Amino acid sequence: MMRLLSLENKEDLNRELARVGVDPKAWQIFQTKNRVLRIKVDELSTAGANILKQTALIVGADCAIHRQVISGRVRKSSAILFATPRQVEEIANRLKHQPGCANKLVPELLTTVKNALNRPAPVKIGTLIFEFGKKAYLMGILNVTPDSFYNGGRYLKPEKAIEYGLKLVADGADILDIGAESTRPGANPVPADEQLKRLLPVLKSLRKKVKVPISVDTTSARVAEVALKEGANIINDISGFTFDRKMAETCARFNCYAVLMHIKGKPKTMHKNPVYQDLMQEVIDYLNSTVARAVAAGMKREQLFIDPGIGFGKKLEHNLEILRRLDELRTLGLPVVVGPSRKSFIGMVLNLPAEERLEGTIAAAVLAALNGADIVRVHDVGPVKRALRLTDAIRTGEIAG
């Protein structure tokens, strides 16, 4: 009898190897053969593309390049390498002995594969340790604004916002994200003084009452500075430190964590026909540049999280593609945050208003977690928490307490 095995989970493969009677010392070897990676390499010289192709074939892998590379009619070509992690190691070892155009690929190739195969190292934020890969963590949304696209104005009064923040934590939020400025499509900027007027009573009270880290959603360095002085742990900047050039320096000075998000345009205009030539590459390039900006300002890479910006300067098809291809963001080696909660792309697919998008939010959150999200940002913590707990149990084979 013969059958195909579906063994993405490491422990499932090890159990099957044990049933066959394979020496446990060899299990790691088969783990590296259990997954074919698809690695895109941009802008190779003709010589470099040819060398990469031939090296891949020698070790039993393959490499797709421009059809006219072999004839020399193109000067450059991108490439897609199809190889297992073990084959990548062999390719890298062989490329080290090739001319400069090929051996220069080795460091980035090995780093890319390392990032793809390993989740980011654990981090301690406040008193809590986040062990990425063990489960998907939840960031609960608390908007103290009159005009957010969902529940705008409901928690504008401090006492109601504080009560709701406590409920989010009781429902299982691992992080509270407080925002005092709506960033919905078409929104106007809110002055720092008004943001602080809305934010501070809520932040000060919740900081005394909850143990989970508190994130503040703002693009203003002044708001960030005051919030960090009052005990905020994380700054969630939808612009990736691009709207206020003092933001990176401020976060570095306070030694805080930061979520850097991709956005195309600004909230006022971002919904007006955004165009991409290569969506995932442009998102990754943008995030890479924001990370570099943060590090140049004095932040440590391990203090940074990245967010592809669902709904921020994206059409329906862009949002769906990002969720499908989310694991490509792991190229950067940083924790991935995703915020699909009740957004318009769900409404477009299901033809539902924001108030009726809970099921769509749960589906998007589950797919995000399966495709590489480390933190999912949502309004409905309780229902999503239960769905993700089951998802994590199925994915890892472990039942969390």
Residues serving a catalytic function are 343, 377
In whole angstroms, what is the distance from residue 162 CA to residue 203 CA?
Answer: 8
Distance between CA atoms of 265 and 270, rounded to whole angstroms? 5
| HEC per residue, 196-218 | HHHHHHHHHHHHHHCCCCEEEEC
Residue 360's CB is within 10 A of a number of other CB atoms, namely 20
- Inter-axis angle of helices 192-209 and 221-229, to 10 degrees? 20
**Cα–Cα dist 341/362, whole Å:** 8
Decide if 264 contacts 314 (C-beta within 8 A). Answer: yes
- Quote the CA–CA distance of 10 and 13 in Å, as a whole number: 5
**Following DSSP, what letter does each residue of 240-302 receive, concatenated?**
SS-S-TTHHHHHHHHT-EEEEE--SS-TTTTTS----SSHHHHHHHHHHHHHHHHHHTT--GG
Task: Confirm if 256 and 247 have CB atoms less than 8 A apart.
Answer: no
d(CA 9, CA 225): 43
Helix 106-117 / helix 85-95 crossing angle, nearest 10 deg: 170
